[in-house]
Amino acid sequence: MLNFEKKGQGKETLVLLHGFMENISIWGDLEKNLSKDFTLLKIDLPGHGKSDILAEVHTMEMMAEEVKKVLDHQNLNNIHLLGHSMGGYVSLAFAEKFSEYLKSLTLFFSTYFPDDAEKKEQRKKSYRVIKDAFAHYARVGIPNLFNPNERDVLEGKIETALEVALSTNNLGALACVKGMVERTDKKHILENLECRILVLAGKHDNAVKTENTIHNLPDRTNIKSYVLDCGHNGHWEKPSICAEIINTELLHHLPKKLVL
């Protein structure tokens, strides 16, 4: 079973799925600002943190099934599911397979679009580097995930993100990159899912095409989106604002727009 940590005694369960080259430790800053009405279930995805590598290719669907095993082990349903980046891809796969479990779905600096041809080619070219020079791969890539206009202010957070990335098993990372290449378009999930859907995105996100993601969201009353003045890592760059949105939208459903 995947490694997980459960914290709090709130009446609502918020399941947190981290992104690529991350683990359950990334949620600390966000967690401090989340409502005590949440019980948090933080899960290490396969090949990350303390969770084992399960296959040569970690598809999003396979990882979603492993997340479900944790929920069933904990007798949990009617959950709020939030996924950062790759965790968002896993969350969409989960929603496609197990929508009856969901009270809400939050795409946290993630997208429902598959990789385009260029991105797939980039990922495939990275296979050898991840296998043979993983530290170099992480050191080059991690800083680019943060707002380039605030690199000096975010220096400590970038260092933390790099430490987390370097602690990842390179073969676990490779299995997940291969799985991300295989992703399919999941817009139909958002068009048909009945639960509340929240999308948080970064204006300066170099990993996700924010404008494309927000512009093409289905026009449905159960979907709400926010674009923040940050890069790909809102949990490190804007944790208090992200938490305020999550608290407001998932617990209170207030119609007013937060001033960001």
pLDDT digits (tens, 9 = 90+) for 77-92: 999 999 999 999 999 9
Best CATH choice for the domain 4-252 from the list 3.40.50.1820, 3.40.50.300, 1.10.3720.10, 1.10.12.10: 3.40.50.1820
What angle, 0 to 180 degrees and rounded to 10, lies between the N-to-C axes of helices 155-166 and 134-141?
A: 160
Instruction: Please write the tens of the pLDDT for every residue from 5-52.
Output: 999 999 999 999 999 999 999 999 999 999 999 999 999 999 999 999
DSSP of 118-166, one letter per residue? HHHHHHHHHHHHHHH-HHHHHHHHGGGGS-GGGTTTTHHHHHHHHHHHH
Residue in 228, 224, 235 with CA at minimum distance from that of residue 198: 224
**Which residues 6+ apart lie within 8 Å of 71 measured at CB?**
15, 41, 77, 79, 101
Overall pTM > 0.95: yes
pLDDT at 256 over 90: no
Percent of the chain with pLDDT over 90: 97
pLDDT at 131 over 50: yes
- Write down the domain spans for the chain: 4-252
> Measured between alpha carbons, how far is 11 from 47 in angstroms, rounded to an integer?
31
Instruction: Note whether 63 and 69 are within 8 A (CB).
Output: no
Instruction: Note whether 224 and 198 are within 8 A (CB).
Output: yes
